[in-house]
Amino acid sequence: MCRYQLVARMLVAVLLVLCESSWTCAEETADAVAAIRKIGGTVRPVGKEWAVDFHLRGRRLTDKELVHVAALKNVVWLNVSKTKITSSGLVHLKGLDKLRWLHLEMTKVGDKGIEHVAGLDKLEYLNLFGTKITDKALGKLARCKKLKQLYLWQTDVTDEGVASLQKALAKTRIVRGVDLSKLASSFSSEVEKPKKRVPLKWVDVTSRGEAPARSEAGVNCEILFENRSKQPVKLFWIGYGNGALKFYTRLAPGATRKQNSYSKNAWLITDDDDQPLGFFLVTEDDSHAVVPGASP
Amino acid sequence: MQDGVGLAGLTLPTFFGLRADAESGSPAKSCIVIYLWGGIAHQESWDPKPEALSELRGEFQPISTATPGVQFSEHIPLMAKHSEKLAVIRSLNHHVGAHGGALYTSITGQKAPLGKAKDRKNWPSLTAMVSRFCEVPGGTPPAIAMPYLNYDNGALIQGQFGGWLGVDYDPIMMRTPAGKPYGGTSRYTNSELALKLELGRNRVEGRRSLREKLERQVGAQADFKRFDRFRQMAAEMLLSSPVKEAYDLENEDPRIRVMYGDHIGGQSMLLARRLTEAGVPVVQVNAGAGDLAGGSGDNWDTHRGHFPKMKKRLLPVFDRSLSALLTDLEQRGSLDETLVVVVTDFGRTPKINKNGGRDHFPAVFTQIMAGGGIRGGQVYGSSDRDGARPASDSCTPGDFHATVLTAMGIDPRTELPDREGRPFQICGGKPLPLF
């Protein structure tokens, strides 16, 4: 990584010399670049312009810190998705009149902020997925005549609002995404909310005698067995009464199995040659029973 | 000995070791490589042949797609709706009829494997090569492959690793934590790289502390340092990286998970989306059982019972998961910045054998691309009536690679030095006009 950091700094220095008309201007730009990097953003040159990205390491970006982006000017691509910015912060975008791609998805930006975006007349790509914007914002965006792509999945816009904007911006591709409520009904038989499972304790054994002698009766629950070892394992239920072993299944490495069981039941895990490896004692909760890999 | 590559041999456009954004537009920022192990039949997927001789035609019917004049097989109806996002390249061909060499040729764009699976003289995989030019923050792997590596009857196949780029560019192998596995045999062997992200924070910290103490006693040895990179990366991912968050599929909306299908193929494609969102530049999904092992499992090597296997097991999973991936990338506004490519060993014979199967056929086959600045709704090249030879615009895996590299903002003519310092042009093909 050090090599990259070094060459990236060299790149900035070279570009500043090449692209800027005066050292003063270059210093301002260098300061802005340094400030953006300090708060987790990345700055990449795009020809003589800049692409600025906060969406990975700069997610703590706040409204007032957008001032550093404004200072850079010549920004053509900006990604502030999943950051802490709100509508108020977008006032800093006003001067970025070369901006063509803007990622605002998954932020708290709402209708008020779109006023500042709508003035960016070179904007070609605008991503508002997962924001709280409504049809009010769409009315303002009708001013972005160069907009080619607009993303509105999981927002509060309506069919009417989108239709109206599409009329004003006939060439813009407006993406609404799938309707999750309809999606759920089309796969209704398969929708299963993931269960919260408590981890079941694995106990190492080397012989049958070290495992519980028998299972006791308890309440119904479900176990998800998972074989994370590198060998196939066998799953035996230790019976009630005399504790006879009942073979249930063989789990290949990486395989899982959902198993109905009861609390206070015991399950013995063996290798392919029936040599005991460990056991699980079932609790009342739905649980996750992991056959571990090699010891660390 | 040199593990990676130095700066000395880099040509100017990539002197900084990074991709260059084209001034005219924003190229792809990440790439998802979907590998169909075994060789998908072009006739029963992207290039139906309804006019072929009756004994060659097969059982499936063609269906219309969203692109006028373009037909797909009836058993990929969901992908047919996405044709406006796809570039379908129907005239690919090479000369290797065995799986190992064919995977090597398709995934490296080069002719023949030189050594064993992890030999450093091998050419880097497409996944490794693209990752070489991508900048990643600490703790983020440059490339990830999942859910299995590709084997043939127990033999790990050449071409899936970083080759002469060095061990730093071997894609990190990762298991997919959910979904019904492919039927057949799959192997998890790469224990050096298999990151057990499900481990708890305390356990990781404890383990790291112990290892650090041990290392101080052992001293810094070269082999230890090499291994150390993966251990360090694993620790960083486990503790803080967005990659860890992405890996936990329980964080995903259950309805979206259902859209991809409760299958390791679908969940791997979902994971690929989440990992690229988290900053991993290249993710490879091997969509099929990991070991061909005689061809009886859910892989694309359909020598026997080709039609029922394709119809009931292979195509439904693939159609649902890949179409979900494209839908999801599109609705998130990520498709333009994410290049999705589907790569396979080869096509399958026009002739149907006595076991109701189709055999290996490198003379013509189809691969597809989507997103990442690729113009959708287009077909490049064609095969003849029987799907036996290229009929127009014949092209090679090298050309396919050159196109991928170009889409990713990497000049295919870039030269890099190998471990002995010899300069190699990273790709011998020419970019196809798909942009």
Q: Give the pLDDT score at B3.
A: 34
In the chain, the amino acid numbered B241 is S
Which chain A residue is nearest to residue B177, measuring alpha carbons? A254
Nearest C-alpha in B relative to A14: B16
Residue B397 pLDDT: 98
Compute φ and ψ for A51, nearest 5 degrees: -115, 130
Q: Which of A178, A290, A295 to mutate to test the interface with B (most CBs of B within 10 A)?
A: A178
Phi, psi of B259 (to 5 degrees): -55, -40
Count of C-beta atoms within a 10 Å radius of residue A33: 24
pLDDT at site B208: 57
Q: B265 with B317: CB under 8 angstroms?
A: yes
Cβ within 8 Å, pair A180-B253:
yes
Chain A positions touching B189 (Cβ under 8 A) are 230
C-alpha distances out from residue A204 to A30, B219, B245, B310, Å? 59, 33, 31, 43
pLDDT of A203: 95
- pLDDT 10s digits, B376-423: 999 999 999 999 999 999 999 999 999 999 999 999 999 998 778 888
CA distance B201 to B428: 46
Q: Please, which residues 134-173 of chain A have a Cβ atom closer than 8 Å to chain B?
A: 149, 151, 153
Strand, helix or coil at A10? helix
Neighbouring C-beta atoms of residue A223, cutoff 10 Å: 23
pLDDT averaged over 10-residue windows placed end to end, chain A, 296 residues: 56 55 69 90 88 86 92 92 95 93 96 94 95 95 95 96 96 93 66 74 94 89 90 93 90 85 93 94 92 72
pLDDT score at A160: 96
| Cβ neighbours, 10 Å, residue B158 | 25
Q: How far apart are CA B408 and CA B234, in angstroms?
A: 26
The domain ranges of chain A are 2-179, 198-291
Interior/surface letters B408-421, b for 16+ CB within 10 angstroms, e for the rest: bbbbbebebbbbee
Element (H, E) at A164: helix A159-168
Interface contact flag, A127 B253, Cβ < 8 Å? no
Q: Which CATH class is domain A2-179?
A: alpha beta
For A90, B16, B28, the CA distances from B134, given in Å and listed in that order, are 30, 10, 11
Q: Chain B residue closest to A151 (CA)?
A: B333
Residues 6+ apart with CB under 8 A from B254: A191, A192, A193, A194
Q: What is the DSSP string of B159-175?
A: TSS-GGG-GGGSPEE--
The torsion angles phi and psi of B63, rounded to 5 degrees, stand at -130, 155
Instruction: Please enumerate in sequence order all residues whose Cβ is within 8 A of that of A230, keeping only pairs 6 or more positions apart, or say none.
Output: A253, A293, A294, B188, B189, B191
Domain ranges (residues) in chain B: 12-191+262-425, 198-247
Q: How many CA atoms lie within 13 A of B276 on its CB side?
A: 31
Q: Which of residues 83-102 of A touch B (CB under 8 A)?
A: 101
B331 contacts A175? CB cut-off 8 A: yes
Residues 198-237 of B with CB under 8 A from A: 207
Q: Cβ separation of B16 and A175 shorter than 8 Å?
A: no
The C-alpha of B16 sits at a distance from chain A's nearest C-alpha, in angstroms, of 6
Q: Quick check: B6 contacting A, CB < 8 Å?
A: no
What is A198-291's CATH number?
2.60.40.780
Distance CA A109, CA A129 (A): 10
Q: Could you tell me how many CB contacts below 8 A there are between chain A and chain B?
A: 97
Contact of B119 with chain A, judged by CB distance below 8 Å, is answered with: no
* Yes or no, beta carbons of A254 and B181 under 8 Å apart: yes
Interval A57-89: pLDDT, tens: 788 899 999 999 999 889 999 999 999 999 999
CA distances from B279 to A106, B138, B179, B181, B274 (A): 16, 11, 23, 26, 9
Cβ contacts (< 8 Å) between B15 and chain A: which residues? 7
Query: Would you state the structure tokens that stand for residue B55, as one six-digit string?
Result: 């004994």
DSSP letters along B99-119, please? HHHHHHHHHHSSS---SSTT-
B304 and chain A: CB distance < 8 Å anywhere?
Answer: no
Q: Does domain B12-191+262-425 bear CATH number 3.40.50.2000? A: no
User: Of A49, A180, A196, which to mutate for an interface test with B (greatest number of B Cβ within 10 Å)?
Assistant: A180
B255–A191 C-beta distance less than 8 A = yes
| A3 at interface of B, judged by CB pairs closer than 8 A | yes
Q: What is the pTM of this model?
A: 0.77
Between chains, do A178 and B336 touch, taking CB under 8 Å as contact?
no
Could you tell me if A289 and A226 are in contact, meaning their C-beta atoms sit under 8 angstroms apart? yes
Distance CA A281, CA B2 (A): 52
Cβ distance A255 to B18 less than 8 Å, yes or no, reads no
Tell whether A198 is within 8 A of chain B (Cβ).
no
Would the CB atoms of B254 and A193 count as touching at under 8 Å?
yes
Task: From B296, B392, B309, B293, select the one nearest B41 (Cα to Cα).
Answer: B309
**C-alpha–C-alpha distance, residues B257 and B271, integer Å:** 10
Alpha-carbon gap: A198 to the closest alpha carbon of chain B (Å): 14
Coil vs helix vs strand at B371: strand
Nearest-angstrom CA–CA distance, A60 and A66 = 11
Nearest by CB: B137 against A56, A230, A296 = A56
Say what the pLDDT of residue B206 is: 57
Residues 217-256 of A with CB under 8 A from B: 228, 230, 253-255
Contact between B7 and A3 using a beta-carbon 8 Å cutoff: yes
Report the alpha-carbon distance of residue A50 to residue A78 in Å, rounded.
9
H-helix or E-strand spanning residue A16: helix A2-19
Radius of gyration of chain B (CA): 21
Write out chain A residues lying below 8 Å of B253, CB-based.
Answer: 180
Of B16, B181, B250, the CB nearest to A8: B16
With beta carbons less than 8 A apart as the criterion, state whether B434 and B369 touch: yes
d(CA B365, nearest CA chain A) in Å: 32
* CA distance to partner chain A, nearest, from residue B389 (Å): 38
Low-confidence ranges of chain B (pLDDT < 50): 1-18, 21-25, 190-201, 217-224
CA distance B273 to chain A (A): 15
For A258, counting Cβ atoms within 10 Å of its Cβ (0-12 exposed, 13-18 middle, 19+ buried), the class is exposed
Cβ pair A4:B135 closer than 8 A: yes
Q: Does A2 touch chain B (CB under 8 A)?
A: no
Q: In sequence order, what E strands does chain A have?
A: 42-46, 49-53, 75-79, 101-103, 125-127, 149-151, 173-175, 198-199, 202-204, 220-227, 233-238, 245-251, 256-262, 266-270, 276-281, 287-291
Asked if B23 lies within 8 A of A46 by C-beta distance, the reply is yes
Beta bridge mates, B344: B36
Q: Mutate one of A5, A15, A57, A127 to test the B interface: name it (highest B CB count within 10 A).
A: A57
Nearest to A56 among B262, B279, B333 (CB): B279
Coil, strand or helix at A270: strand
Instruction: Name the minimum distance, in Å, from the CA of B324 to any CA of chain A.
Output: 10
Beta-bridge partner residues of A44: A51
Q: Which of residues 67-96 of B touch A (CB under 8 A)?
A: none
Pairwise CA distance, residues B4 & B356, whole Å: 48
Separation CA A160–CA A141 (nearest Å): 15
Candidates B331, B334, B338, B375: best to mutate against A (most CBs of A within 10 A) is: B331
Q: How far is CA B258 from CA A195, B177, B265, B271, in A?
A: 15, 15, 12, 13
